[in-house]
Amino acid sequence: MVTYIGLDIGGTKLMVAAGDDNCTILRRVRAPTPAPLEEGLELLHQMIAEVAEGAAIAGIGAAIGGPLDAARGIVSPLHQPAWRNVQLKQMMEARWGCPFAVDVDTNVAALGEYTLARLQEPRFLYITLSTGMGGGFLVDGTIYAGAGGAHPEIGHQAVPFHCAHPERVACECGAPDCLEALISGNAIRRVYGKPAEQLNDDEWDEVAYNLGQGLRNIAAIYTPDLIVLGGGVAVGGGERLLNGARAVLNTRLTLVPAPEVRLSQLGHDTALLGALALARHAAAPA
């Protein structure tokens, strides 16, 4: 049986899965992300060996936070300070002797959602709202990249926002007014002093309003057919979060049609499944 390996390398957790040619997960493991780089890399190797169970690996795909150089496989995830200019592709191919591909986690999640949910929309945007915020834009099923292969950073747009504590708004990228600094998991802890699951109704209303302003910008510029939201904050906020955001989007967006906005149906596995799809693509003959 052909075996592919998918890696979801997050700021707080590592998930590794072995999958078949249909991107069906056969075996999986999960562990907290160690802060030191070498410890994290060695743990990934141990997890890959565990799920592979001695089978030959046809390809490995990985999802990780940006920024990164996807072509050369060099990663520098913003939320993992020890992981700077890591030659992940070179390391993985040398260790496992198979093709390796990596992309920004939101791109990989978009690919997973599009592939596994069998979507047909020509312009599809996947947004993850978790530790940070990001998005992956697919055009006819292909990941869109900007000039020089740059990944569009939708979480780092500025919006007119509502916030009871504006003095606490500060983005980890260094800019003072990013959307991510208002609605991501890290931002919610910074602004409200508690995790998203403990927000009260008024606080959720603020988060939903700010998300809606961001969706309005995105819809006006990208004009997508469909926007799907995933990640812990989005899943935790559920329809309460989406309804508030949709209300802002639908009342404030003019001149272009409002896209459908819904939650991911793949739960917390979107990026992991996308990584398996990326591995399958990396292993395919040129």
Sign of CA dihedral 189, 190, 193, 198: negative
Query: How far apart (Å, rounded) are the C-alpha atoms in residues 132 and 130?
Result: 5
Average pLDDT estimate for 202-212: 98
b/e code 38-58 from CB counts within 10 Å (16+ = b) = eebbebbeebbeebbeeeebb
Do residues 262 and 242 touch, judged by C-beta distance below 8 A?
A: yes
The answer to whether the beta carbons of residues 53 and 18 sit under 8 Å apart is: yes
Q: Enter the pTM of the model.
A: 0.85
Point out which residues pair with 16 in neighbouring strands. 7, 29
Q: Which of 158, 147, 140, 127 is nearest to 234 (CA)?
A: 127
Q: For 72-129, how does the pLDDT look when each residue is reduced to its tens digit (9 = 90+)?
A: 999 999 879 999 999 999 999 999 999 999 999 889 999 999 988 899 999 999 999 9
Q: Which residues pair with 133 in a beta bridge?
A: 129
Q: What is the mean pLDDT of residues 141-159?
A: 88
Q: Cα torsion for 78, 80, 84, 87, to the nearest 10°?
A: -110
Coil/strand/helix, residue 169 = coil
pLDDT of residue 286: 59
Question: pLDDT exceeding 90 applies to what percent of the chain?
Answer: 79
Please give the Cα distance from 65 to 79 (Å, whole number): 7
Residue range 217-254, pLDDT digits in tens: 999 999 999 999 998 899 999 999 999 999 999 999 99
Identify any residues that bridge with 127 across adjacent strands, giving them in sequence order: 135, 229
Average pLDDT, the chain: 93
